[in-house]
Amino acid sequence: MRFPKNYHFYILFILLLSVTQAVIARVAYQYRAPDGSIVFTGEQLELPFQLVKKMTLNWGDVKARKIEKQIVEPKEPDVAAKSKNQPKFATIVDAKAKKYKLIPELLHAVIEAESAYDPDAVSHAGAVGLMQLMPATAKRFGVTDRTSPTQSIEGGAHYLRVLLDYFDNDLTLAIASYNAGEGAVIKYGRKIPPYRETQNYVVKVKKFLRRNLKKSQAQSITSNVKQADRQGS
């Protein structure tokens, strides 16, 4: 059997191509979010996100390239910017809290837990903005730009109001639903779902809320004392 001239170069090329394809191949995951949104990620997510499909995206696959473009590129919150951003967004928080009959301290607690006041934060699951809205939730509440602080707080506050009304003002269930979706809370008998992420989330938000209320109370007392001093002078 005669081999073509320079056949070893052809074999080397094929081997290199195979290795390259193996290296470029990427594992991706398709999930369904609590609000029904479909998200593609490069890493595994915990419940309440439901795994739809695990897939390998191979080099040269047209369908794989389309999916690749949809994979979430997370951006961790800029925690250091919290001290600057919190007072900057306070006016919006107060206005939306008043509109939806919420206490501002609750909105602040959710924003801090969700994004640390970074409007450009993007989670590994594809939630975006101050109140980390998923695409279906944003659409549900008329949010067209999830990075807009005003729109994000508007959508998040509206959602919290809906959840509080639905669960008879049970704050714990409303907070759990904001993370896991109201369907999950109903599924588990109107209790916090047994998801580690959701359980930790409820603890975190309530911790921030207690701190915010304590701070507001202290500020109110200080303000009243100063007012009394002025009236007495």
User: Is residue 37 over pLDDT 60?
Assistant: yes
Domain end call among 51, 70, 89: 70
At residue 2, the pLDDT reads 52
Residues 64 and 97 in one domain: no
At residue 18, the pLDDT reads 43
User: For 91-133, how does the pLDDT look when each residue is reduced to its tens digit (9 = 90+)?
Assistant: 999 999 999 999 999 999 999 999 999 999 999 999 999 999 9
Q: Which of 105, 112, 114, 182 is catalytic?
A: 114
Instruction: Determine, yes or no, domain membership for 35.
Output: yes
Residues 59 and 91 in one domain: no
At residue 26, the pLDDT reads 87
Residues 201 and 136 in one domain: yes
User: Is residue 3 over pLDDT 90?
Assistant: no
Residues 94 and 38 in one domain: no
Residues 121 and 219 in one domain: yes
Instruction: Determine, yes or no, domain membership for 233.
Output: no
Instruction: Determine, yes or no, domain membership for 117.
Output: yes
User: Is residue 188 over pLDDT 50?
Assistant: yes
Instruction: Determine, yes or no, domain membership for 230.
Output: no
Three-state SS for the chain is CCCCCCHHHHHHHHHHHHHHHHHHCEEEEEEECCCCCEEEECCCCCCCCEEEEEEEECCCCHHHHHHHHHECCCECCCHHHHHHHHHHHHHHHHHHHHHCCCCHHHHHHHHHHHHCCCCCCECCCCCECCCCECHHHHHHCCCCCCCCHHHHHHHHHHHHHHHHHHCCCCHHHHHHHHHHCHHHHHHCCCCCCCCHHHHHHHHHHHHHHHHHHHHHHHHHHHHHHHHHHHHHC
Residues 52 and 91 in one domain: no
197 a catalytic residue = no
Q: With cut-offs at 50, 70 and 90, classify the pLDDT of residue 56.
A: very high
Residues 36 and 135 in one domain: no
pTM of the model: 0.84
Residues 128 and 207 in one domain: yes
Residues 52 and 83 in one domain: no
Instruction: Determine, yes or no, domain membership for 124.
Output: yes
Q: With cut-offs at 50, 70 and 90, classify the pLDDT of residue 206.
A: very high
Q: With cut-offs at 50, 70 and 90, classify the pLDDT of residue 24.
A: low
Domain span at residue 197 reads 79-223
At residue 38, the pLDDT reads 95
Q: What is the CATH number of the domain that holds 177?
A: 1.10.530.10
**Number of domains composing the chain:** 2
